[in-house]
């Protein structure tokens, strides 16, 4: 796909309001088109004028297959303090036709900025003759990877004719910068040795035809920026535009006595990416499904007492879905799995998903490559040992020194450490006897023969200054891959945390030990004030309005009818000081886990909003502002999924996984229905197939042990078995059909949610009796509802048979 030349002429603005009480505005316009250039260009400043006229022209080289969103930011220049940001206009370049010149007039809403107007003239003539192949892309119909160039720069020092006095001998430092490149800024140092010498070359990776410039600072010179310069003097300031040089050739960039600057441009393999783009399941998971299907088919036949073997198309995909709840969820999940194991239902499951505390159970289980084929008593006993031990030792001086050493090691590796990493190390101490070297990719051994359900761990990616209601993106972790569902972008689990640029692996970091991932998946310390408010109030409308961006559609002249892939022209009004302070106070999180963003350098396809996969997970207020989406961030900011909805169900609702039955094991504190209600509403809003959940008022006040929602009214939706964590018939029965004796009644008293309950989400230590009772309760609630689970499997098999017909 070719590139084109976009010409933008900023003409004038009218009725600009005064940001400073004592003076008129000193306005200028900043232009930013990140898909074309990393630089932000700006007009001259017009002083003391509410109707400024600039009449300045700017040029951008754009790629036609990406979503080009031009930002026109109007500022009031301030000499003493930071410039006042008045407003920003977002304009979709896709509205312009090739070769068309349009005089645009943007009129902001009078309620927003009291009759503000902004007039811009734009033209889009082609540059096909100049750039016939400049638009080379790797496309996934959602994310675009531009062509990558690799620039090598070397400084060679010539032999000096005369030996300089010893006192003048010093190291010479050359500073090189390619803005927008992966490397950013690098330096080359030459020693004082007078003989001919050269330094190792430095390398820059950058997007070709994105107006890249190599800025050079010579020894003893001040840093020079050539962002707006289109000419240079090689002897004084050898700063050059890189697109003007041929690829694959070595050449002299400049001669600055007694050194020579050499440059070579080369193109890496344009079709190779280290990231998997697409919404299909990875090859490894597809292979797992083929192997697991044989185990499941045999198990379902046994459970349902079928006479004939199940055919491939008749075998249901069953998933066990868990919710978080600290040590309570860790313990109760052991009991639930024990019950499923005794009923042979565990062998019927293809997936096991978790978040928060249940990820601790899962990661412990998957250390054993054949855990689901064995008795679970050993794992339950091991967990009991750690749940009942004294935890104060985790804060001993010896442990603190160990934590510091581990955090320093991660920092040396090139990671951005946070309190979440420390929390992961504390968890390691709480749940293990010593250092745990287990990694997520190690769990491949536990699924490579299809012998266990595939574990899926969940988190959400958030953004600073936004609540999770306004911005969150689902992230899934399997032993094979880590990926963002909305973008269809996945990296190998062993590469997660490494540095990527435009889909290429640039710096491989050692894979994190799983304790650090557990800290992220259960990041209690990522809460903010708004989340705490929502826990105690049913509505957040009052405070929520303080945390949202003020973005309005605006009129434009001439009126341009919207095509499906085009975005409305809008204006963003920055919050005032009070609003900003309140917003920061409400949305600032104590800590988040930050990992290198493997989407860095990608760009959104021009039709990304038409992509059905993107629309399925399109649930943030920034989805229509491509310049602010995750591909523009340096780091992913990952938190516990429970800060949005306490569920790990979203990966199971990917159509590619074709899940037929979901066992929803709820371990939430407080309301047992809330997370399910939130999931239903979310799926309804997103158009995701999910069974309708209808509970009577009586059931909402006093839940049963299990509910079956077959989803007959929602064709294509999975069957849902919902298990709230309650103590109902377990009080009187120690096993299904076996009543407790008088001496055993005490064992049936499990205070789950009382004010003095030992099962608080924040409890980290149980007594043996407390631990055992919760395991027994989780097991009993499964065993006592065998009939409903069997009914769900029967229904799933019949539906698959009918579907084939």
DSSP states along 66-128: B--EEEEEEEE--SSSPPEEEEEEEEEGGGSPTT-EEEEEEE--HHHHSS-EEEEEEE--B-T
Phi, psi of 748 (to 5 degrees): -90, -5
State both tokens at 696. 């009577």
- Name the H helices within 687-726: 697-701
350 within 8 A of 318, measured Cβ to Cβ: yes
Tokens 């080379």 found at:
136
* Cis preceding linkage at 134, omega within 30: no
Other Cβ atoms within 10 Å of 396 Cβ, number: 11
Q: Which residues have C-beta within 8 Å of that of residue 274, sequence separation ≥ 6?
A: 491, 495, 500, 503, 504, 505
CA distance 712 to 766: 42
Tokens 């050359």 found at:
174
According to the model, what pLDDT value does residue 180 have?
A: 83
One of 2.60.40.150, 2.40.30.110, 1.10.357.20, 3.30.565.10 is the CATH number of 3-133+547-581, namely 2.60.40.150
Domain regions of the chain by residue span: 3-133+547-581, 148-266, 277-527+589-804
Report helix, strand or coil for 143: strand
266 within 8 A of 248, measured Cβ to Cβ: yes
Give CA separation, 348 vs 63, 661, 662, in Å.
50, 10, 11
State both tokens at 414. 């090139």
Other Cβ atoms within 10 Å of 402 Cβ, number: 16
As its CATH architecture, domain 148-266 has: Sandwich (2.60)
Give CA separation, 299 vs 305, 341, 343, 597, 793, in Å.
10, 11, 10, 41, 11
According to the model, what pLDDT value does residue 156 have?
A: 75
Catalytic positions: 356, 640
- pLDDT tens, position by position, 102-113: 888 887 654 444
372 within 8 A of 361, measured Cβ to Cβ: no
Q: Which helix (H) or strand (E) holds 404?
A: helix 397-413
546 within 8 A of 577, measured Cβ to Cβ: no
Tell me whether strands 318-322 and 661-665 are parallel, antiparallel or unpaired: parallel
Q: Which helix (H) or strand (E) holds 146?
A: strand 143-146
Domains 148-266 and 277-527+589-804 share a fold: no
Query: Which segments of the chain have a pLDDT < 50?
Result: 110-135, 168-169, 194-196, 224-236, 528, 530, 533, 536, 538-540
Give CA separation, 445 vs 371, 432, 450, 538, 601, in Å.
11, 21, 10, 45, 33
Strand order across the beta sheet in which 550-553 lies: 41-42, 27-32, 69-76, 84-92, 570-573, 550-553
Tokens 């638009």 found at:
135
According to the model, what pLDDT value does residue 526 have?
A: 57
According to the model, what pLDDT value does residue 159 have?
A: 59
3-state secondary structure 312-339: HHHCCCEEEEECCCHHHHHHHHHHHHHH
549 within 8 A of 621, measured Cβ to Cβ: yes
CA distance 144 to 142: 7
74 within 8 A of 29, measured Cβ to Cβ: yes
480 within 8 A of 285, measured Cβ to Cβ: yes
- pLDDT tens, position by position, 696-718: 999 999 999 999 999 888 999 99
Other Cβ atoms within 10 Å of 185 Cβ, number: 15
- pLDDT tens, position by position, 228-264: 333 344 444 566 777 666 666 677 766 655 555 666 6
- pLDDT tens, position by position, 733-750: 999 999 999 999 999 999
3-state secondary structure 570-638: EEEECCCHHHHHHHHHHHCCCCCEEEECCCCCCEEECCHHHCHHHHHCCCCCCCCCHHHCHHHCCEEEE
180 within 8 A of 210, measured Cβ to Cβ: yes
CA distance 672 to 392: 32
Query: Does the structural domain 277-527+589-804 have CATH classification 3.40.50.720?
Result: no
């Amino acid at each position: 796909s070719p590139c084109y030349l976009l010409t933008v002429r900023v003409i004038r603005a009218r009725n600009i309001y005064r940001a400073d009480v004592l003076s008129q505005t000193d306005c200028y316009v900043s232009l930013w088109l990140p898909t074309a250039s990393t630089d932000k260009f700006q007009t001259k400043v017009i002083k003391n004028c509410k109707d400024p006229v600039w009449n300045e022209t700017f040029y951008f080289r754009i790629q036609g297959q990406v979503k080009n969103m031009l930002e026109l930011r109007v500022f009031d220049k301030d000499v003493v303090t930071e410039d006042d940001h008045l407003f920003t206009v977002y304009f979709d370049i896709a509205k312009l036709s090739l070769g068309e010149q349009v005089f645009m007039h943007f009129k902001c809403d009078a309620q927003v900025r009291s009759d503000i107007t902004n007039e811009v003239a734009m033209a889009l003539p082609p540059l096909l003759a100049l750039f016939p192949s400049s638009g080379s892309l790797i496309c996934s119909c959602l994310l675009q990877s531009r062509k990558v160039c690799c620039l090598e720069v070397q400084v060679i020092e010539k032999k000096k004719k005369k030996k300089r006095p010893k006192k003048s001998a010093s190291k010479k430092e050359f500073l090189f910068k390619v803005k927008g490149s992966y490397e950013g800024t690098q330096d080359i140092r030459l020693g004082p040795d007078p003989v001919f010498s050269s330094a190792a070359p430095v390398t820059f990776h950058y997007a070709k035809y994105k107006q890249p410039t190599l800025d050079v600072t010579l020894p003893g010179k001040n840093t020079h920026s050539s962002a707006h310069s289109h000419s240079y003097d090689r002897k004084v300031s050898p700063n050059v535009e890189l697109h003007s040089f041929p690829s694959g050739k070595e050449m002299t960039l400049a001669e600055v006595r007694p050194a020579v600057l050499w440059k070579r441009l080369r193109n890496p393999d344009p079709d190779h990416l280290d990231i998997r783009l697409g919404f299909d399941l990875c090859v490894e998971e597809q292979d797992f499904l083929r192997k697991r299907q044989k185990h499941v088919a045999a198990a379902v036949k046994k459970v349902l007492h079928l006479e004939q073997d199940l055919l491939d198309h008749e075998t249901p995909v069953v998933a066990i879905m868990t919710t978080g709840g600290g040590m309570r969820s860790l313990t109760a999940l052991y009991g639930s799995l024990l019950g499923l194991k005794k009923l042979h239902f565990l062998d019927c499951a293809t997936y096991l998903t978790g978040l928060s505390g249940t990820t601790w159970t899962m990661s412990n289980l998957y250390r054993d490559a054949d855990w689901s084929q064995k008795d679970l008593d050993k794992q339950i006993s091991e967990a009991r040992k750690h749940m009942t031990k004294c935890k104060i030792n985790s804060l001993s001086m010896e442990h603190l020194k160990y934590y510091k050493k581990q955090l320093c090691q991660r920092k040396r590796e090139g990671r951005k450490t946070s309190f979440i990493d420390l929390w992961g190390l504390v968890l390691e101490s709480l749940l293990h006897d010593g250092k745990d070297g287990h990694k997520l990719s190690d769990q491949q051994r536990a699924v490579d023969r299809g012998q266990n359900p595939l574990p899926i761990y969940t988190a959400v990616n958030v953004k600073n200054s936004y609540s999770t209601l306004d911005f969150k993106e689902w992230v899934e972790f399997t032993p094979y891959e880590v990926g963002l569902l909305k973008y269809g972008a996945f990296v190998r689990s062993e590469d997660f945390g490494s540095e990527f640029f435009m889909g290429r692996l640039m710096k491989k970091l050692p894979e994190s030990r799983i304790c650090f991932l557990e800290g992220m998946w259960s990041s209690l310390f990522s809460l903010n004030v708004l989340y705490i408010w929502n826990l105690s109030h049913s509505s957040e409308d009052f405070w929520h309005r303080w945390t949202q961006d003020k973005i309005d559609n605006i009129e434009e002249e001439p009126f341009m009818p919207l095509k499906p892939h085009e975005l409305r022209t809008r204006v963003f009004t920055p919050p005032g000081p009070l609003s900003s302070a309140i917003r920061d106070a409400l949305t600032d999180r104590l800590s988040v886990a930050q990992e290198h963003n493997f989407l860095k350098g990608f760009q959104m396809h021009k039709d990304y909003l038409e992509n059905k996969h993107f629309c399925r997970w399109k649930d943030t207020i920034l989805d229509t502002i491509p310049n602010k989406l995750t591909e523009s961030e340096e780091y992913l900011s990952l938190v516990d999924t429970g800060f949005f909805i306490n569920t790990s169900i979203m990966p199971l609702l990917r159509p590619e996984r074709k899940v037929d039955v979901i066992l929803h094991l709820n371990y939430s504190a407080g309301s047992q229905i809330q997370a399910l209600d939130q999931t239903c509403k979310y799926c309804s809003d997103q158009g995701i197939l999910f069974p309708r959940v209808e509970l009577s008022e009586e059931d909402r006040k006093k839940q049963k042990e299990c509910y079956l929602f077959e989803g007959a009214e929602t064709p294509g939706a999975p069957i849902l078995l919902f298990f709230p964590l309650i103590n109902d018939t377990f009080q009187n029965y120690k096993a299904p059909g076996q009543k407790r004796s008088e001496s055993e009644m005490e064992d049936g008293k499990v205070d789950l949610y009382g004010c003095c309950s030992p099962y608080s989400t924040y409890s980290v230590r149980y007594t043996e009796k407390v631990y055992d009772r919760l395991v027994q309760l989780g097991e009993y609630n499964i065993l006592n509802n065998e009939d409903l689970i069997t009914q769900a499997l029967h229904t799933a098999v019949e539906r698959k048979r009918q579907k084939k017909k």
